[in-house]
Amino acid sequence: AQKVTQAQTEISVVEKEDVTLDCVYETRDTTYYLFWYKQPPSGELVFLIRRNSFDEQNEISGRYSWNFQKSTSSFNFTITASQVVDSAVYFCALSEASGTYKYIFGTGTRLKVLA
């Protein structure tokens, strides 16, 4: 069965610190997709990244980077030099190619960046 685990419920850091949000997933599919979404206090879901199961290349986008490791079924997200505007709930999600591409979300990690 598919499952996404975000073990960190809440993380607090001081501005400019680096922070890593963990995501571990379970799936029987060989083709699947992983996502990270940001949910700021205003409540909308903001797409950050999509990763394919067949592409383990890590990705960097500005202060954001993602580390995908199939061997450990993990897709971790690092924010470098965090800023107060990064304060939000971050969700990791899994979508399997065998189905309707519905998303299975993790429980989210609330990140608080303190000035």
Partner 1 sequence: EPEVTQTPSHQVTQMGQEVILRCVPISNHLYFYWYRQILGQKVEFLVSFYNNEISEKSEIFDDQFSVERPDGSNFTLKIRSTKLEDSAMYFCASSERRLTNYGYTFGSGTRLTVV
Residues of this chain that bind partner 1 (CB under 8 A): 33, 35, 37, 42-45, 47, 50, 91, 93, 95, 97, 99-108
Give the shortest CB-15-to-partner 1 separation in angstroms: 25
Give the shortest CB-99-to-partner 1 separation in angstroms: 7
Q: Is the distance from CB of 82 to CB of 18 less than 8 angstroms? A: yes
Closest CA to 24 of 47, 4, 41: 4
Give the shortest CB-28-to-partner 1 separation in angstroms: 17
Q: What are 89's strand-pairing partners?
A: 39, 110
Q: Which is nearer to partner 1, 37 or 75 (CB)?
A: 37
Q: Which is nearer to partner 1, 47 or 57 (CB)?
A: 47
Q: Is the distance from CB of 77 to CB of 8 less than 8 angstroms? A: no
Q: Which is nearer to partner 1, 61 or 71 (CB)?
A: 61
Distance CA 26, CA 4 (A): 6
Q: Which is nearer to partner 1, 2 or 74 (CB)?
A: 2
The dihedral formed by the CA atoms of 47, 52, 58 and 59, expressed in degrees to the nearest 10: -30
Give the shortest CB-19-to-partner 1 separation in angstroms: 20
